[in-house]
Amino acid sequence: MCAFSSAVLAVTVLLLSSIHANAVVELKNHDKKCDLYDGSWVFDKSYPLYDVEKCPLILQQFNCMRNGRPDRRYQKYRWQPKNCNLPRWDGREFGKRVRGKRIMFVGDSISMNQWESLGCMIRAAYPRAPYSSARSGLLSTILFPKLNITLIYMRNAYIVDIATQKAAKVLKLNSVAASAKQWLHTDILIFNTWHWWLHTGNKQPWDVIEDGKVMRKDMDRLKAYERALRTWTRWIDKRVDTNKINIFFQGVSPDHWNASSWGTTTDGQRCWGRERPLKQAAVEGGGTDEADIILKKVLRGMKKPVQHLGFGPFPQTGHATTCSPSSRILGTAHWCLPGVPDTWNQLLYATLLTL
């Protein structure tokens, strides 16, 4: 009986190893026309990748089921590239590849969205592994001590620094020095910034902008965004050894704030009953398209390799709204978990398989 069990185990291990090896070969040898980031959403009964009720790492704002969303169909969609396949998520294999590593997400709450998602994806693969979570200032940490994996979220919505000078909060477009002290002590960095560049008035956390040697009360936000990105790229190109630290940029996430912009009636601003993604890209609005163009242009000009995790179109069904029949609000920038952030992590995993 023991011999039989051992044989079954050996065959299983060989099969899983073969599947993993095939995934790596497919990624390394696929046709150059294959773009993992160009595709569509397909229904998959085997999804989601984890059970939201079994992951205590998810904050209330991302737990759509707990917030009253009645449907689960939105959890059953996965990203399918047009001309190739995205490797199926293997949490155990991912755990092996990042053992002993520190993974840091830097950005706004969309980064936190992805950080929590990755924590749940790892926990689903190692349900009995102990973990701890803690917050200190702008840093939040999920630690899996026996796996020797550390996930860190650094709250920095603009990537560049905000400093207090003469009782004023200054957005410094030419400096990342304050935050960057932490960045060099990691193994994998995933950056994100955009949505806070649109905040004005009482919603913006700064009083003035320092643009080089010029102090401005305000300026064109897209120009400010680009200058901040270029400050970040100069720091990466000058200071980061990409043989030791892998750099990723999450991309620009839409908010689909107005349902009428993608062809519904005004009553369609409710998320109630919206279970299927649009078959083609929605109108994102809010400067998202322009921001994405700027980001891609800036990344193309870098000397050091940075993997852009941007894909699309995004499903308008996946936002973390309070879903109820009386809800009049469709979108925020955040995503339900399980959901879109899981795909960012699958793309992260797919890239790590090729390294």
List, as one string, the DSSP characters of 161-226: EEEEETTEEEEETT--HHHHHHHTT-SEEEE---GGGG--GGGSS-SEEEETTEEES---HHHHHH
Domain count, the chain: 2
Q: Tell whether 285 and 168 lie within a shared domain.
A: yes
Residues 101 and 17 reside in one and the same domain: no
Same domain, 39 and 25: no
Alpha helices in the chain (DSSP H): 2-29, 91-97, 109-125, 177-183, 221-239, 288-300, 340-353
Q: How far apart are CA 189 and CA 240, in angstroms?
A: 11
Q: How far, CA to CA in Å, does 114 sit from each of 57, 103, 191?
A: 12, 12, 11
Sign of the Cα torsion 136, 204, 342, 178 reads: negative
Residues 313 and 213 in one domain: yes
Q: Which two tokens stand for residue 94?
A: 């991912």
Q: Do the bridges between strand 246-249 and strand 307-308 make them parallel or antiparallel, or are there none, so unpaired?
A: parallel
The span from the CA of 108 to the CA of 2, in Å, is 53
Q: Are residues 132 and 20 in the same domain?
A: no
For residues 119 and 26, membership in a common domain is answered with no
Assess whether 145 and 18 both reside in one domain: no
| One domain, residues 20 and 40 | no
- pLDDT of res. 60: 74
> Do 72 and 317 meet the contact criterion of CB atoms below 8 Å apart?
no
Do 17 and 97 belong together in one domain? no
112, 186: one domain: yes
Q: Which two tokens stand for residue 146?
A: 């026996």
Is residue 119 located within the same domain as residue 3? no
Please state, as a whole number, how many other Cβ atoms lie within 10 Å of the Cβ of residue 102.
19
CB 68 within 8 A of CB 322: yes
Residue 253 contacts by C-beta under 8 Å, 6 or more apart in sequence?
110, 192, 194, 195, 288, 314, 333, 335, 340
Q: How many CB atoms lie within 10 A of CB 213?
A: 6
Residue 348 · residue 248 · CB < 8 Å: yes
Phi and psi, residue 80, nearest 5°: -125, 105
pLDDT at 73: 81
Q: How does pLDDT run along the chain (355 residues), one tens digit per residue?
A: 445 444 444 443 333 344 344 444 345 544 456 789 989 899 999 999 999 989 999 887 777 877 777 777 888 999 999 989 999 999 999 999 999 999 999 999 999 999 999 999 999 999 999 999 999 999 999 999 999 999 999 999 999 999 999 999 999 999 999 999 999 999 999 999 999 999 999 999 999 999 999 999 999 999 999 999 999 999 999 999 999 999 999 998 876 444 444 455 444 444 445 556 555 544 444 456 899 999 999 999 999 999 999 887 655 554 555 443 444 443 457 788 898 899 999 999 999 999 8
Cα–Cα distance between 148 and 96 in angstroms, integer? 10
CA atoms of 121 and 94, how far apart (whole Å) = 10
3-state secondary structure of 9: helix
| Whether residues 276 and 196 fall in one domain | yes
Residue 295: give the domain boundaries: 35-353
Answer yes or no: are the C-beta atoms of 345 and 103 closer than 8 Å.
Answer: no
pLDDT given at position 157: 97
Amino acid identity, residue 35? Answer: D
pTM given for the model: 0.84
How many Å apart are CA 69 and CA 72, to the nearest integer? 8
* Model pLDDT, residue 10: 43
DSSP letter, residue 319 = B
